[in-house]
Structure 1
């Protein structure tokens, strides 16, 4: 009889240990199959697409990098020229290599908000107008995850307290039976 009580308590202790291991808990939007996320904040970006072209722009401080591809097969567009309107600014990005990458440097950092983007693309006989928006509000909610990080620990503490209460109650019952 004592052997079965020991085994039962040991199983309860093992279950509590597993419940208290935060590495095993999967939070909202978390998957153990997903690749690890890159460290640091995501850079602001915009996306504009037409029947012929697809353009992605990434802003890092005052540096704007643009990636231009053919929409049909995702091949980089070579020998293209771009005319960019970023809100009130008019820029002519310069090619950076031959792989559809362009760069432009802003005179000053952009102010937060949603900024309309219009790009005229000319590549050989093709010409197109692409439109999108650059949203510089992306980091407003960056602290939400940190504010909620205490909840799994609180749940673990409650589980541990309940488990300890069960163990103490079983121990008291056993000592009462043995006496």
Structure 2
């Protein structure tokens, strides 16, 4: 029985140390270069509408809609543009923020689903009608997909080592417990 406890102790210690050494393993693309910035959260709902003349991108942040209008040919902001926008069949009042940049404040954040967007652009003697769909979905929490696989392996190894040590402790305790004597007083 002593050999079993020695084996269990050695196995538990080796699993614990082996799991700790997994932290030294490098992940994919390990080159000591600067790590790319991880996204801080889910992407905000957006739409993009393009034509031969213009590109319009809208980004929704709650009830705030930011719009960016550029020329399709060279991605320059459209100067002195008149922009009219319908969101779900309802016209929105737009405020010019900068050249090619507009903002709108909705009465309330839109409901989940696909919302049709129609924009009329007039810039000088050029005009165009753009159409897109704003896809609004609820954000859901995800685990970090970029977490290195050694973390999961280390956790399993530590759990297995703890289980082996607990089993060894329980067996040793059971072995050293003195059995109760049967019988009465003489």
Q: Deviations over 1:117-157 (max 9, x none)?
A: 111111111111111111111624x32x2599697533224
In the superposition, the TM-score normalised over structure 2's length comes to: 0.63
Q: Which structure's relative contact order is higher, taking Cα pairs within 8 Å and 6+ residues apart?
A: 2
> Is 1:102 aligned to 2:102, yes or no?
yes
The aligned counterpart of 2:119 is 119
Q: Structure 2: where are the runs of 5+ without partners?
A: 1-15, 165-186
Query: Which of 37-46 and 112-121 deviates more?
Result: 37-46
Number of matched pairs: 143
SS of residue matched to 2:152: helix
After the TM superposition, which residues 1-179 of structure 1 pair with which residues of structure 2 at under 5 Å, given as runs? Answer: 17-21=20-24, 24-26=26-28, 35-97=36-98, 99-137=99-137, 139-140=139-140, 142-143=141-142, 145=143, 152-158=150-156
Distance (Å, rounded) in 1 between the aligned partners of 2:145 and 2:74: 43
Could you say what the CA RMSD is over the residues aligned between the two structures, in angstroms?
A: 3.5
In the superposition, the TM-score normalised over structure 1's length comes to: 0.65
SS of residue matched to 1:96: strand
The answer to whether the Cα contact below 8 Å between 2:112 and 2:138 also exists between their aligned partners in 1 is: no
Deviation at 1:94, TM superposition (A): 2.3
Query: Which of 151-160 and 51-60 deviates more?
Result: 151-160
Q: Structure 1: where are the runs of 5+ without partners?
A: 1-12, 27-31, 166-179
Distance (Å, rounded) in 1 between the aligned partners of 2:37 and 2:100: 28
- Cα separation, partners in 2 of 1:106 and 1:72, compared to 1, 3 Å: same
